[in-house]
Every structure is written in structure tokens, then in C-alpha cells.
Structure 1
């Protein structure tokens, strides 16, 4: 009964344009957990602090306050906001544990409306904000819905070049031992699937971001399930599938993965999003090298192929919500000096340029920004041979105080020569200490909020 009542309420909120679902994604280590924690923390402090000058409703003192509400989807884990805050505000602040599954948190934002239609109803209005966190690796799987097993397998073999080919060697060696037409051996399928999974995880560890299937590296509740125990193999479209064979089982598991995992994720979650923010860590790939950087760009392109674009009129929002705003955010802006922030945004724009062209053609609003969800460094200047040089200062993950100039961020896609000549020195820092009664320090989270929900607070 309570669930039905909540669904009715959500329908009414949406009909009055007072409900928005924002999806937060990004590839591993992009900073999703830190971002959602900071976003919630900033909004919860709006009644007592003026920490969001770039959010117009807060700047104009129209944002009265925010509170947490029970989420409407009871089948999705709650985002662990309290646990994250405990880690951030401990005696030695640490970054919160990353989430590895879908999670959700809901806020109610009370504000003074400026739109005449809302003002006629009441002097105050409420925006119900759902924030949904999901792994970007899962989004990389959506193209599988349009691929038969043979086509997917061929795409995986086509990618085996350079470092990928080297990392895949144990799996490729094991692949030579299986007879695809023999009676199914679940033990052998499990062993080779594990080697394929190890290969995908090794790709991620080496800074390569395009991995399929994404659930193999972030399985969530499916860990150990047979639906995650298949792998590519070299076959032709004409290869006759013997009933009860190893190949028949591989294809059956792939089909089950398509329908019960990928399609289910699209139906239950992805198709319900109104707005999307994609967090991108440009700095780690710059640190890792050319292959890692270009692989991330390819992964971002794959990500964007999955979006259903289009502006939402009222009827579409009620019955078939569509993503009408996408924001790419370059995270960890505090890990470079402020004079490099513009280059960071320019580099991100270059990385997502093909996706930007597609979105613009579909009349969707898209933007790029740089930000730091939770500030980890302070910026300043140091004297160097009589000259003043910009620098950042913070505490490394090992607990050492450090002042460093990380280097210049290229404002365009760098060639391989960039890493041969200079490269980039990325140092990971702990979050700065913050008081329990104070909002977390940030850089431009308010600008992100203005883009995502500023129009809903009018």
C-alpha cells in the first residue's frame, strides 16, 4: 500500500514539474561517491551556510532548506551518505569507500518560486530530488543489446592489440584447450571465464577503461553467478551450434546476460533518468600514458551511444522521461593549480567532442565543467629562483605534507610525443579536514547544481 501511495505521489510531483531524477555515473575512480556525498552535504547546509553562491536560488536567498526523504524505490540500496561522512570527518580524513552497485538517495528542497504559476499555488514550493549512483562500466554494456554473441566476440578479439594482447595471454592460452562442440563442461567454462575476468580486471588496473561485459569487473549481487561465466571465442556465423555443447552454453549465458542483466538495468533504472552527470578523471590517464588516455576517450564515446536524447515536454516527462541535460564534469580540479582549470575543461571538451556533436543535433543541452567535489588541497605560490610559481599543498594518501606543481594540463588531445617529452605528475591527496557542523569544502559544486537543477528551482 505504501509503495502504491509513493508511486502516486511521484506521478503528481512529476506532473507539477517538482520531481527530477539525476543520474550520476563515471568510470571507476572518477569520484562518484565523493561527488554525491558533497552534493547532499552542500544542500543540507543551505539553511545555515552561504556556501553556494553560483546556485542562483541560494544566492538570491530563495532556497529555504533541504531534508532527506525515504526513497521511493525500495528495491535499490540506499546511498551510504552517513558512512561516507564518517570517513571524511574522522581524525584522519579518508575518501569514502566507492560504491559498486546502484544506490539512491532522495532530498526535498523547499524554495520560494519565481514562476507565476507556482506562486499562485503557494508562497513556497518543494522540489523532490532523486540522486542515483551507478557504475559507468554497466553503461558500457548497453550496446550489447544490439549485438549477437558472434559480433560481440569479434569486437573483443579486434581490441587485442598492444597492452591488451599482453594482458590477455593466460586467457587466450586457455582458450586453445576447449572443444566448443564437446559436451558442456561447467568446470572448464568457469575456469576460462575466470581468466577472461582476470584479463578485464588487469586492463582496468593498467588504466584501460573499455571493458565488456562491465558486470564482470563490478558484479554487485551477481558475483559467482553462471550468467557472468562466459567469454568470447572465435566462431563464424555459419558455425553449427551443437545442442548441449560448450558453445551452446556460452551463447545461452550471453543471451541471458543481455536480457536479464543489461535490459533489466535499462528498464528499471536508465530509462527513468531525467538528467545525467558523467564524472571524468582526466588526470589519472594523463599520468598513465597515451594508451590509457585514448582508451578512456573511446570508453566515453561508448558511454554516449547509450543515451536516449531529447527535450521533455510535460506529457513525455509523465510517461516516458528522457534525459534532456547532460553534464560532463572533470573531477579533482584541486589536484592541479587554478591556472590549469581552463585547460582541464578544454581537454575534457576535446575528449567528448564526438558525443557533443550527436547531442547538439538532437537538441539536447550539454556542458563541460571542472570541479572538486571535496577539496583536498590549497592553492598558492612558491618562490623558485626569484620567481613566483603556482603550487598546490596538501597531505598525500601516505600522510606526508607536500607542496607541488603538478605541471601543465594540455588544452587539446595530446599526441604520444607529449608523454615522451614531459608528461604529467599526478599526486593523490587526502581530503581536507572539515568540522561536523560545517559544509564540506568544494570547488564549483554550486555551479554543477545550477546547471542540473537551477531551472527547477524557479
Structure 2
């Protein structure tokens, strides 16, 4: 009864444009946990601090306050906000532990409306804000819905070039020992799937981001389940596999993965999102090299194909919510000097250009920006050859105080010669120390909030 009541309330809030579901995604180490922690923290402090000048409702003193609410979906894990804040406010500040599964947190933001229709209902309104965190790697699986097992195998083997071919050697050697027509040997299939998963992890460790199936590297609650125990193989797709053979079982598990994992994620989560922010770490791939950088771009393009574009008019908002705004954010902007922020945004725009064209055609509002969810450095200057040069001051993860100029960020997609001549030196810093009663230091979280919910706070 309580759940039905809550669903009715959500329906009413959606019809009054007072409920929005914002999805946060990005590939591993893009900073999803830090972003959500900071976003929640900033909104919770709006009644006592003025640290969001780029959020119009906050700048105009129209936000009365915000509070956390119990989430309505009791089947989704709670986003670990309190645990993240405890790590950030520890004796030695530390980055929050990354999430490995879908998680959710809900806020109620009370504000003074400016729209006449809302003013008629009272002197204040409330925006119910659901923030959903999910791994970007899971979006890499949505194209599997359009591929049968044979097509997927072909796509995986066609990708085994260069560095991937080297990393896959151990798995390929084991694969040669498998008799696909023999009676199914679950133990052998488990061993081979584990070796294949190790190959996928090796790809990610090497800075290669396009991995399928995405759940293999971030399994969540499915860790160890047979549905994650399959892998690509070479076979004659024209011949029907013998029942109870290794090949038949691999095909069955792939189909189960399509239906029970990929399609279920789309149905229960992805198709319910109203707005999307995609966090992109452009700096680590710049640091890793040409292959890593362009592999990440390919992964981003694959992710963008997965979005269900469409304007959220009142009827579609009520019965079939669709993403109507997408924000691409280059994270860790505090790891480059402020004069490089414009270049960072330009580079991000180049990386998502194909998706931008698609979104424009579908009349979707789309934007790019750079930000630092939780600031880790302070900008400054150092003397170099008798001249003043921008620099960053911070403390590294191994507690070394450091002043660095990491290098220039290219405005456009770099060619291989960039890494031969210049390159980029990425240094990982720990978060800046902050007081428990103060909002977390950030760069442009307020700009992200204005884009994502500014129109809802009018």
C-alpha cells in the first residue's frame, strides 16, 4: 500500500514538473562518487552558505533549503553519502570508495517559485530530485541487444589488434583447448570465462576502456553467477550446436545475459531517466598515450549510441520519460592550471562530436563543461626562466606536497606525434582539507546544477 501511495505521489509530482531523475554515469575512475557526494553536499548547505553563484535559484536566495528523503525504489542500494563524507573528513582526507553497482539517493529541494502557475499553489514549491549512479561500462552492453552470439563473437575477435592481441594471449591459448562440440564442461567454461575476464581487466589497467561485456569487470551482485560465465569463440554459425554441448551452453548464457541483465537494466533503470550527466576523465588517457585516448573516445561513442533521445513533453514525462538534457563534464579540472580549462572543454567537445550531431538532430539540449567535484589543488604561480608560470599546489596520494605544471591540454584530438613531442603529466592528488560544517570546495558544480535542474527551480 505504501509503495502504491508513493508511486501515485511521484506521478503527481511528475505531472507538476516537480520531480526529476538525474542519472550520473562515466567510465571507471571518471569521478562519479565524488560528483554525487559533492552535488548532495552543496545542496544540503544552500540554507547556510552562498557557494553556488552560478545556480540562479541559489544566487537569488530563492532556495529555502534541502534535505534527504528516503528513496522510493527499495530494491536499489542506497548511495553511500555518509561513508563518502567520513572519508573526505578523515584525519587524512581520502577519495570516497567508488561504487560498483547501481545506487540512488533522493533529495527534496524547497524553493520560492517564479512561475505564475507554481505561485498559485503556494509561496514555496518542492523539487524531488532522484540521483542515480550507474557504471558507464554497463552502457557498453546495450548494443548486445541487437547482436546474436555469432555477431558478438565476430565483433570481439575483430577488435583483437595491437595491444589487445598481446593482452589476450593467455585467454586465446586456453580457448584453443576447448572442444565446442563436446558435452558441456561447466568447470572448463568457468575457468575460460575467468581468464577472459582477466583479459578485460588487463585492458582497463592498460587504459583501454571499450570492454564487453561490461558486467564482467563490474559485476555488482552478479559476481560468480553462471550468467557471467561465457566468452567469444569461433564456430560455424550456419550449423546448429548439439544440445548440451559447450557451444550450446555458451549461446544460452549469452542469451540469458541479453534478456535478464542487459534488457532488465534498460527496462528498470535506464528508460526511467529524465536527464543525464556523463563524466569524462580526459586527463588520464592523455597521460596514458595514443591508444588509450582513442580507445576511450570509441567507448564514449558506443555509450552515446545507447541513449534514448526524445523531448520530455508533459505526456511523455508522465508515461514514458526520456532523456531531454545531456551534460558532458570533463572532470578533475583542478588537475590542470586554470588557463587550460578552455582547452579541456574544447577537447571534450571534439571527443563527443558525433553524439552532439545526433542530439542536435533530435532537438536534445546538450552541453559540455569542465569541473572539479571536490577540489584537490590550489592554483598558483612559479618562477621559471625569470618568468611567472601557472602551477598547481597539492598533496599527492602518498602525502607528498607538490607544486607542478602538468602541461598543456590540446584543443583538438591529438595525433600520435603529441605524445612523442609533448605528452601530459598527470599527478593524482588527494582532496583538500575541509571543515565538517562547510560545503566541500569545488569548481563549477553550481554550473552543472544550473544546467541540470535550473529550469525546475523557477
Alignment pair present for 1:113 and 2:103 = no
Partner of 2:329: 329
Kindly state the Cα deviation for residue 237 of structure 1 after the two structures are TM-superposed.
Answer: 2.3
Partner of 1:378: 378
Partner of 1:171: 171
* Cα distance in 1 for residues equivalent to 2:86 and 2:239: 56
Partner of 1:34: 34
Partner of 2:454: 454
* Cα distance in 1 for residues equivalent to 2:306 and 2:405: 38
* Deviation by residue 1:195-228 (Cα, 9 ceiling, x = unmatched): 1000000000110000000000000010000000
Partner of 1:238: 238
Partner of 2:248: 248
Kindly state the Cα deviation for residue 235 of structure 1 after the two structures are TM-superposed.
Answer: 1.8
Partner of 1:140: 140
Partner of 1:184: 184
Kindly state the Cα deviation for residue 239 of structure 1 after the two structures are TM-superposed.
Answer: 2.6
- Segments of structure 1 that go 5 or more residues without pairing to the other structure are none
Within-5 A mapping of 1:350-361: 350-361=350-361
Alignment pair present for 1:81 and 2:76 = no
* Cα distance in 1 for residues equivalent to 2:36 and 2:77: 15
Partner of 2:199: 199
SS in 2 for 1:121: coil
* Cα distance in 1 for residues equivalent to 2:283 and 2:100: 22
* Cα distance in 2 for residues equivalent to 1:417 and 1:383: 29
SS in 1 for 2:52: coil
Within-5 A mapping of 1:287-436: 287-436=287-436
Alignment pair present for 1:258 and 2:243 = no
* Cα distance in 2 for residues equivalent to 1:139 and 1:129: 23
SS in 2 for 1:132: strand
* Cα distance in 1 for residues equivalent to 2:146 and 2:76: 27
Kindly state the Cα deviation for residue 177 of structure 1 after the two structures are TM-superposed.
Answer: 0.5
Count of matched residue pairs? 458
* Cα distance in 2 for residues equivalent to 1:14 and 1:283: 38
Within-5 A mapping of 1:191-230: 191-230=191-230
Kindly state the Cα deviation for residue 240 of structure 1 after the two structures are TM-superposed.
Answer: 2.4
* Cα distance in 1 for residues equivalent to 2:125 and 2:414: 48
* Cα distance in 2 for residues equivalent to 1:188 and 1:392: 52
SS in 2 for 1:24: strand
Kindly state the Cα deviation for residue 261 of structure 1 after the two structures are TM-superposed.
Answer: 0.3
* Cα distance in 1 for residues equivalent to 2:329 and 2:236: 42
* Cα distance in 2 for residues equivalent to 1:312 and 1:190: 44
SS in 1 for 2:215: helix
Kindly state the Cα deviation for residue 386 of structure 1 after the two structures are TM-superposed.
Answer: 1.3
* Cα distance in 2 for residues equivalent to 1:178 and 1:121: 68
Kindly state the Cα deviation for residue 2 of structure 1 after the two structures are TM-superposed.
Answer: 1.3
* Deviation by residue 1:256-284 (Cα, 9 ceiling, x = unmatched): 00000000000000000000000000000
Kindly state the Cα deviation for residue 4 of structure 1 after the two structures are TM-superposed.
Answer: 1.2
User: Which is further off, 383-392 or 281-290?
Assistant: 383-392
* Deviation by residue 1:352-390 (Cα, 9 ceiling, x = unmatched): 000110111010000000000000000011111210000
Kindly state the Cα deviation for residue 181 of structure 1 after the two structures are TM-superposed.
Answer: 0.6
Partner of 1:95: 95
* Cα distance in 1 for residues equivalent to 2:149 and 2:52: 49
* Cα distance in 2 for residues equivalent to 1:57 and 1:323: 23
TM-score with structure 2 length normalisation? 1.00
* Cα distance in 1 for residues equivalent to 2:122 and 2:158: 60
SS in 1 for 2:120: helix
SS in 2 for 1:30: coil
Partner of 1:152: 152
Kindly state the Cα deviation for residue 3 of structure 1 after the two structures are TM-superposed.
Answer: 1.1
Greater than 3 Å deviation, 4+ residue runs: none
Partner of 1:122: 122
Partner of 1:14: 14
Kindly state the Cα deviation for residue 391 of structure 1 after the two structures are TM-superposed.
Answer: 0.1
* Cα distance in 1 for residues equivalent to 2:164 and 2:239: 27
* Cα distance in 1 for residues equivalent to 2:149 and 2:365: 35
* Cα distance in 2 for residues equivalent to 1:108 and 1:254: 41
SS in 2 for 1:392: strand
Kindly state the Cα deviation for residue 61 of structure 1 after the two structures are TM-superposed.
Answer: 0.6
User: Which is further off, 230-239 or 259-268?
Assistant: 230-239
* Deviation by residue 1:405-442 (Cα, 9 ceiling, x = unmatched): 00000000000010011100000000000000000000
* Cα distance in 2 for residues equivalent to 1:429 and 1:40: 22
